[in-house]
Amino acid sequence: MLWLGWYFPRLPLEIFGAVDESIPLAVSRRWEGKERIDRCNGAARRRGIAAGMLLSRALERTPELVVRARDAEREREALEALGGWAWRYSSRITFDPLLVLLEVGGSLRLFGGVEAMLERMEGELTRLGHRGYWAVAPTPAAAALLARVAPGRRIHHPRALEAALEPVPMERFTRNAELLELMRQTGLRTIGDCLRLPRPELARRVGPRPALLLDRLLGRAPDPRPLWRPSARFRRRLQLAAEVEHAGALRFPARRLLESLAAFLRGRDGLVQRLEWTLEHRRHPPTRFRVGAAQPTRDPDRLLQLLQLRLERLCLPAPVIELELTVPRWHPFEAGGEDLFRAAGKEGERLLERLRTRLGAEAVRGMALRADPRPERAWRFCAPGGASTPSPSPHPAQRRQPLWLLPRPRRLRQRDGLPLHGGALRLEPRCQRIQTGWWEGEEVDRDYYRAVNPAGERLWIYRDRKSGDWFLHGFFD
Amino acid sequence: MLSSGFPVLDEATGGGWPLGSLVELLSPASAGLSLLLPSLIRLSRRERWLAWVNPPWIPNAPALAARGMALAPLLWVKSGGAEGRWAVEQLLRSGGCPMVLYWPGRILPAQLRRLQLAAERGGASAVLFRPLEAAGESSTAALRLRLERVEKGLRVRVLKRRGGWHGAEVVVPCFG
């Protein structure tokens, strides 16, 4: 089993739309008998606000600071929404405070390995307005702990787990003050200290519970956790950091809700046709309206456009303090219902039509791949929207090729057998040899190099092995 | 904002590429495509066009695909001058093209303003590749970056950003 832990330390802020970094925002909670700053965003930090500061002092120092009390209910809702997002990647999901844990051992192959999966997840989280930190480990408890203390760690084998966890200080493992005090007195400072003790001795010193937790952490004892089941209904609220007076300004928070809906729907392979929006006002009954799409969809851009059309006609009776999106029903996705670019719809087709009418069809093109090792023939222009015939897959070696190609290779002048382009070129030692046989048409036999000229331009050049001539074929960015 | 995929760049720009506005990348030789690559790869998986208007060379489609970009949304538009500006405006305004890459050659502040309005209307980002000299001209762009090629990637200096302090300078480890 392999668990992926996603830790969202900024979630208490993100539920108030903390992505808008221009507004200094903080959340507060009570501890040691006083209301204090729990955490804050970058805009607040730049104004000298820090966690632990007394609320009264923070407001004195930065009167424009927006402060919200930590809202456990909304945090739970948001975490569950993230569960809905993660559902796409695994059906074994469980939670810890500010953490989503998912078992990914079974789904890695489907998503092309850990790297590809994480890259994809990171991109999606950014769109959802969350910043998360991940770790991978064989037990859920270890994935959770590592995501908090050592984000980015990937431990695949239970054997490697002990070494990875040894240096973790006990106060990151538990928040139980009594237990921590007990451990401090008995000289147990890190997880390693505990593991070095014989288990009965550890249990004698600190009780059986911490010993069990350690065993679960290392996978030596089962860690039964209730697995989460997603609900069929989508409902998500977003409290706004600042009151919104113009309907147009709801675009940004609405977009976040729609991205979140899209993630929910992707996880279930569903589409929606009707959305219910609720705008909460201070001291005024909420504004409610429905927005319907002509075709079931889950494209957030399209749903946002529909909302915008509605917002343009809307008169707000009072400033908006909260936005809510509810989807009572969603439809299962049917193949062909959401074809590529059909989502852009007639509008997208008309756009292409306009461009091609004015600029000429040959000036508005798509690109596709060809199965040919010669860089100048490994691609072709095609109709916008992709080739009608299936394209070959790219070759891994093409990853090392530059992003820019010259329309055709240009012969370079030489001095002492070395190529020139805006001065003498410095060649990097590694090269890629591209050879084709005469039976493939024009025969090529080339050694490609990366080269840098005195102006710092990074060139892609090759030496024709037959003639010994040098050619410039592209530019690295 | 659309994350650039590079944490240092997101930090320096306050979150990445601003949506519904212009971005200017100023450099001596059209540098900066590799800065955009992670966002282009991500956007390419959605049902929208990604337009390249008047690029100086041929986008190396196999290299883009090998790095994970879907080619179907790629829209290559070869058109300079007033025609090119018209095309960019149409693309931005349509709402069907979240990012337009544009090599405008010479462009006047009033013409930039027009594109800015189109970008706002369509919620799209227009990324303009311009020469260094353009740094002296006024611009409505929400984000202006000066780029310089260095050994470890691109050195990025923030000349202007919205709602934040400019002047940040970072080296972004991007290659392409």
Q: Provide ipTM, 2 decimals.
A: 0.96
Q: Would you state the pLDDT for residue A109?
A: 78
CB contact under 8 A, A338 and B60: no
Q: Which residues of B touch A127 (CB under 8 A)?
A: 2-3
Q: Would you state the pLDDT for residue A390?
A: 61
Say if residue A434's pLDDT is above 90: no
Q: Which of B56, B74, B94 sits opposite A367 (nearest CB)?
A: B74
Identify from A20, A351, A353, A377 which residue to disrupt to test chain B contact, counting B C-beta atoms within 10 A and taking the largest count. A351
Cα gap B149→B35, rounded to integer Å: 12
A394 touches chain B (CB under 8 A): yes
Q: Is residue B114 part of a domain?
A: yes
Confidence of residue A425 (pLDDT cuts 50, 70, 90): very high
Confidence of residue A88 (pLDDT cuts 50, 70, 90): confident
Q: Would you state the pLDDT for residue A438?
A: 58
Summarize pLDDT for A440-461 with one digit per residue, the tens: 557 788 999 999 998 888 999 9
Say if residue A2's pLDDT is above 50: yes
Chain B: closest CA distance from residue A258 (Å): 14
Token pair of A311, please?
A: 């917002």
Confidence of residue A297 (pLDDT cuts 50, 70, 90): confident
CATH of domain A3-149: 3.40.1170.60
Confirm if A133 and A6 have CB atoms less than 8 A apart: yes
Strand partners, B126: B22, B100
Say if residue A335's pLDDT is above 50: no
Chain B: closest CA distance from residue A41 (Å): 12
Q: Which of A343, A363, A398 sits opposite B62 (nearest CB)?
A: A398
A386 touches chain B (CB under 8 A): yes
Cα gap B103→A123, rounded to integer Å: 27
Rounded to an integer, the average pLDDT of A77-99 is 89
Q: Which of B2, B58, B94 sits opposite A351 (nearest CB)?
A: B94
CATH of domain A234-332: 3.30.1490.100
A108 touches chain B (CB under 8 A): no
Domain ranges across chain A: 3-149, 166-217, 234-332, 398-476
Identify from B9, B25, B75 which residue to disrupt to test chain A contact, counting A C-beta atoms within 10 A and taking the largest count. B75
Q: Which of A305, A338, A476 sits opposite B95 (nearest CB)?
A: A305
Give residue for tokens 């005090």. A181
Summarize pLDDT for B134-160 with one digit per residue, the tens: 998 988 999 999 999 988 899 999 999
A288 touches chain B (CB under 8 A): no
A351 touches chain B (CB under 8 A): yes
Say if residue A343's pLDDT is above 60: no
Q: Which of B31, B58, B78 sits opposite A405 (nearest CB)?
A: B58
Token pair of A201, please?
A: 């001795």
Instruction: Give the closest residue to A68 by CA, choosing from A33, A44, A99.
Output: A44
Chain A: closest CA distance from residue B128 (Å): 15
Rounded-to-10 torsion of CA B136, B140, B141, B145:
20
Which amino acid does the sequence have at A106? G
CB contact under 8 A, A396 and B66: yes
Backbone phi and psi for residue A336, each to the nearest 5 degrees, phi listed first: 90, -15
Give residue for tokens 């966002």. B39
CB contact under 8 A, B77 and A355: yes
Q: Is residue B92 part of a domain?
A: yes
The angle that helices A140-149 and A158-165 make with each other, rounded to 10 degrees, is: 40
Cβ atoms < 10 Å from Cβ of A106: 12
Helix or strand or coil: residue B117? helix
Rounded to an integer, the average pLDDT of A267-275 is 81
Strand partners, B156: B147, B170
Rounded mean pLDDT of chain A? 86
Confirm if B25 and B130 have CB atoms less than 8 A apart: yes
Rounded to an integer, the average pLDDT of A257-286 is 88
For the ranges A7-21, A117-131, A143-157, A265-279, the one whose mean pLDDT is highest: A143-157
Residue numbers of the domain that contains B142: 7-172
Cα gap A377→A398, rounded to integer Å: 13
Structural domain count, chain B: 1
Q: Would you state the pLDDT for residue B6?
A: 94
CB contact under 8 A, B34 and A477: yes
Identify from B48, B50, B58 which residue to disrupt to test chain A contact, counting A C-beta atoms within 10 A and taking the largest count. B58
Q: What is the pTM of this model?
A: 0.51
Chain A: closest CA distance from residue B150 (Å): 8
Give residue for tokens 């993660």. A86
Q: Can you list the residues of chain B whose pLDDT is less than 70?
A: none
CB contact under 8 A, B64 and A403: yes
A window 236-265, beta carbon within 8 A of B: 251
CB contact under 8 A, A404 and B48: no
Say if residue A254's pLDDT is above 80: yes
Q: Is residue B2 part of a domain?
A: no
Q: What's the CATH number where B42 sits?
A: 3.40.50.300
Q: Is residue B1 part of a domain?
A: no
H or E stretch at A96: strand A93-96
Q: Which of B2, B87, B149 sits opposite A355 (nearest CB)?
A: B87
Cα gap A338→A298, rounded to integer Å: 9
The residues, any chain, with a CB within 8 Å of residue A451's CB and separated by 6 or more, are: A419, A421, A425, A426, A427, A428, A458, A459, A460, A461
Summarize pLDDT for A158-169 with one digit per residue, the tens: 889 999 999 999
Q: Is residue B80 part of a domain?
A: yes
Rounded to an integer, the average pLDDT of A8-37 is 86
Q: What is the DSSP string of B11-56?
A: HHHTSSBPTTEEEEEE-TTS--HHHHHHHHHHHTTSSS-EEEES-S
